[in-house]
Amino acid sequence: MRWARKLEDAGVHVVYGLVGFKTHAKLSLVVREEFGAIRRYVHIGTGNYNPKTARMYEDFGLLSADAVLGDDINKLFNQLSGFAPQTSFSRLLVAPRTLRPGLIERIEREVTNHQAGKPAYIRIKLNSIMDEEFIEALYRASGAGVKIDLVVRGICALRAGIPGLSENITVRSVLGRFLEHSRIFHFAHGGNDELWIGSADLMHRNLDRRVEAMVNINQPDHKRMLIRALDHYLSDTSPAWIMREDGGWHHAVLGPDREPLTDFHAQVTDWYRLRE
């Protein structure tokens, strides 16, 4: 509140959000007039706008001038400021209204695709999963034969590898140099990979009592980057805590040759060094 008052004293219009909901979405919008037309620049991601945690957390973000996404985020800001009615979005899933049903619909679509003989799998990386509706949807998908891989840093109420319930689900937790903070959802979508990133974990507070936003990633190079990251997190060559059938955890740190496995964060650092 102290910073809000300072901003207001400086002439900034501060919006406190929707009553009863914490605004947890990570969004920025810049609107400019360029060559006689309005152009929007947006940023949406998984991480906080905090210079301290940005040095310690692992996150992903999207910076874009895409007109459709700009219109979506402009609508969402208008809703948060009270200047717009409820509306639909093209590239966003927004809690508390469309995020849970939108993700569950995509899980059910993977089941349909699997039954039709199309590519079908689900890969999710997030901080916590406790929402019963989502867990039950994953159990149903596993029972139908859909392969599901989860990377969960913290609380996980789902049990993996139980015959007749979750034998097609694996859960691993990655703890490394940086705090795992990103949320990534990857659906096979019949061979047309569909990827989302955003601010929400699968918990009641995120899905029911917060304003959260997930964005659909549609650029091929961006999708390849996220898929590559998930490949490394889920690879047997990366150290991780792996959930056993009894709910316990096995710490995999050595490869078949008894050599230490390569930490994912070290691999990411190498990627960017090579790019430079």
Residue 240 to residue 151: CA distance in whole angstroms:
9
Phi, psi (5° rounding) for residue 63? -110, 125
251 is catalytic: no
Residue 216 to residue 232: CA distance in whole angstroms:
21
Choosing from 13, 24, 181, 222, which is the catalytic residue? 24
Residues paired with 152 in a beta bridge: 126
What would the two tokens of residue 105 be? 């619909």
Residue 192 to residue 7: CA distance in whole angstroms:
45
Query: 3-state DSSP: the chain helix, strand, coil percent, rounded to 5?
Result: 30, 30, 40
CA dihedral of residues 145, 151, 155, 157 (deg, nearest 10): 0
Quickly count: other Cβ atoms within 10 Å of residue 128's Cβ: 17
Residue 256 to residue 89: CA distance in whole angstroms:
48
Residue 174 to residue 241: CA distance in whole angstroms:
6
Active site residues: 24
